Amino acid sequence: MSTQEFENVTRRPTIDRRGVLRAGSALAGATALLNTSVGGVPARLAQAAEASAGSIDMVYQLEGRILEVCTCQILCPCWVGENPDFGTCDSVIAWHVDRGTIDGLDVSGRTIALINHIPGNVLAGNWTVVFFVDAETTPEQQEALLSVWTGQKGGPVADLAQLYGEVTATQRVPITFLVEGGQGTLRIGSEASPVVVAELSPFQGATGKSTTLVDTVFSTIPGAPAYVGKAARFQRVSSQLGLKDIDLSGHNAIQGSFSFTA
């Protein structure tokens, strides 16, 4: 019941014989309504608030972790909007959803990843991208994840997707995403012939906490701190997908958590 409705039925009735019974009946109804409450809130008001809250639908709510390695030196200048160390940057980025939904579909436990080639400054866009979705996703989950990470669902992930110039392929493959004791391990593809293998660990500051990047002009986990590290191993066998092969050690790595809502 709105405030206006409540005022209408509780205001002092005018002295009019035709309206006295009608006003008195309405007042009795309002009193009964107030006496029927949920947690101290009038039942009708509680129901209205619940219905209003339920009408605000989230397209996606996703929480999880990220592992990222690239060909830049440490620290990767892309994160502060500078040009890549070697003129271009090639990376792998994997987002593991610990819990979340997309249009009401549960995608908890699923991983989506990409490999890319960035031809110049990261903010200039025109990335060449190949997507990977973990083999345990259902077709519905795969479609939902790709709709978010290609920018179709808007929100913070769409800001990142605006930098893609071309998505050349999407593959459904086994993905291993592990973080244990701060050490990250990422494998994309089968154990016998992986497309990507990466092993990374974060740097620690003087207090023993992970070295952190915040408020950077570019981020793959917008709104969250990124933990800077080093990749002991970064192998990428991707020439068959139109991107160069990589075999490096000691280059830039990023870990972190994300919370995306739209």
CATH number of the domain where residue 256 is located? 2.40.400
For residue 79, give its domain range: 60-261
Domain shared by 218 and 115, yes or no: yes
**In terms of Cα–Cα distance, which of 111, 107, 126, 108 is closest to 67?**
111
Mean of pLDDT values over 163-192:
96
Tell me which of 250 and 26 has the higher pLDDT. Answer: 250
Residue-level pLDDT at 56: 52
User: To the nearest whole number, what is the mean pLDDT of the chain?
Assistant: 84
Domain shared by 25 and 112, yes or no: no
Tell me which of 187 and 58 has the higher pLDDT. Answer: 187
Residue 109 has pLDDT above 90, yes or no: yes
d(CA 128, CA 132): 14
> How many CB atoms are closer than 10 A to CB 176?
15
**In terms of Cα–Cα distance, which of 226, 218, 219 is closest to 257?**
226
Per residue in 29-87, pLDDT (tens digit) is 433 433 334 444 444 434 444 444 444 578 999 999 999 999 999 999 999 999 999 99
**pTM for the full predicted model:** 0.79
- Domain boundary residue among 54, 73, 90? 54
Residue 198 has pLDDT above 90, yes or no: yes
Q: Which of 44-48, 198-202, 208-212, 225-229 has the lowest mean pLDDT?
A: 44-48
- Domain boundary residue among 30, 54, 78? 54
Residues forming a β-bridge with 182:
none
Residue-level pLDDT at 14: 35
Portion of the chain with pLDDT greater than 70, in percent? 79
Residue-level pLDDT at 43: 47
The residue assigned the tokens 């309405």 is 26
Residue-level pLDDT at 107: 98
How many domains are there within the chain? 2
Residue-level pLDDT at 1: 42
Domain shared by 198 and 85, yes or no: yes
Mean of pLDDT values over 235-240:
98
Q: Look at residue 74 and give its three-state secondary structure.
A: coil
Domain shared by 128 and 28, yes or no: no
Residue 132 has pLDDT above 70, yes or no: yes
Domain shared by 81 and 155, yes or no: yes
DSSP 20-61: HHHHHHHHHHHHHHHHSEETTEEHHHHHHHHHHHHT---SEE
